[in-house]
Amino acid sequence: ETGVTQSPTHLIKTRGQQVTLRCSSQSGHNTVSWYQQALGQGPQFIFQYYREEENGRGNFPPRFSGLQFPNYSSELNVNALELDDSALYLCASSPTGGGFSYEQYFGPGTRLTVT
Amino acid sequence: GDSVTQMEGPVTLSEEAFLTINCTYTATGYPSLFWYVQYPGEGLQLLLKATKADDKGSNKGFEATYRKETTSFHLEKGSVQVSDSAVYFCALSSSGTYKYIFGTGTRLKVLA
C-alpha cells in the first residue's frame, strides 16, 4: 500500500509568483485535505476535496485554490505569493468524505520558501 | 470557535522518565481527539485517537484518555526513549466539519 506522496519536496519562489504543489492520496482514499504549517506552529486547515469538489475551507484567501482529479490526486495552487506564504504545506488523505472520526494520513510535505 | 491548547515546550527528559504533555480543547458538541507525532524532516503520523468521552487511545506505550468533564486529552508515557524525541500535536475534529484543528505542538527531547 502506497502512502501519501507530495511533490516537490522543496521549492523557492519570488514574491508575486504562482506555485502549484501536488499530492497523491493513499490508495483507496477519496478525500484530500491541505494544511499550511508555519515554522514552530501547528498545521492550519486550508481546504478539503471530496470526489473532485471542495468540501470545506479554512480562513485562507481566494488566491489559495485547489483541484482534485478523478484518481483522487490533488493540487494546491497559490497565486501572487507573499513572504508569509513561506511554510510547510501538508497534504492528508482519508478514506471517507471527511467523516470527523476518521484519521487523516499525512504526506511528508512541501517546504515552500518565498523570497 | 473550536480550539486546542497544548503545553509549551520544549520538554526535556532523561531516558526512562515519565512523560505528560497536557492538551485541553474547546469545542461544541463531541469532537474526536487525536495525537499526532512529527519526527524531524517528516510529515505527521497518527499516534492515537479517541472518539468519545472516557475512551482511552493507546499506541507504542503512549496513552491518552478523553475527559469530557475537564475537556482534556493529556498524552502520557511511562518510560520515554531517545527515539521518542519529536514534536507532538494534539488535534480535534468536530462533527459537521471537515477539518482538524491542531495545537501549536510540543517539542520533546529525550536525553540518553
Integer Rg of chain B from CA: 13
Spatial distance between the Cα atoms of A64 and A49, rounded to a whole number of angstroms: 13
Q: Could you tell me if B44 lies within 8 Å of chain A, comparing CB atoms?
A: yes
* B83: its cell numbers: 527515539
Q: Could you tell me if B94 lies within 8 Å of chain A, comparing CB atoms?
A: yes
Each of the 115 residues of chain A gets a pLDDT tens digit; together they read 578 999 999 999 999 999 999 999 988 888 899 999 999 899 999 999 988 999 889 999 999 999 999 988 999 999 999 999 999 999 999 876 555 567 788 999 999 999 9
Considering only CB atoms, B42 lies closest to which of A48, A100, A108, namely A108
CA A102 from chain centre, in angstroms, equals: 18
Spatial distance between the Cα atoms of A68 and B5, rounded to a whole number of angstroms: 32
Considering only CB atoms, A90 lies closest to which of B43, B101, B103, namely B43
Q: For cell 492550519, what's the residue? A: A44
Q: What is the pLDDT of residues B25-62, one digit of tens each?
A: 999 878 999 999 999 888 899 999 999 999 999 999 99
* A105: its cell numbers: 494520513
Q: Is pLDDT at B96 greater than 70 in this prediction?
A: no
CA A10 from chain centre, in angstroms, equals: 14
Count of C-beta atoms within a 10 Å radius of residue B1: 8
- Give residue A104's pLDDT: 87
Query: What angle is formed at CA A10 by the lines to CA A6 and CA A11, rounded to 5 degrees?
Result: 110
- Give residue A101's pLDDT: 60
- Give residue B65's pLDDT: 97
Q: Is pLDDT at B107 greater than 80 in this prediction?
A: yes
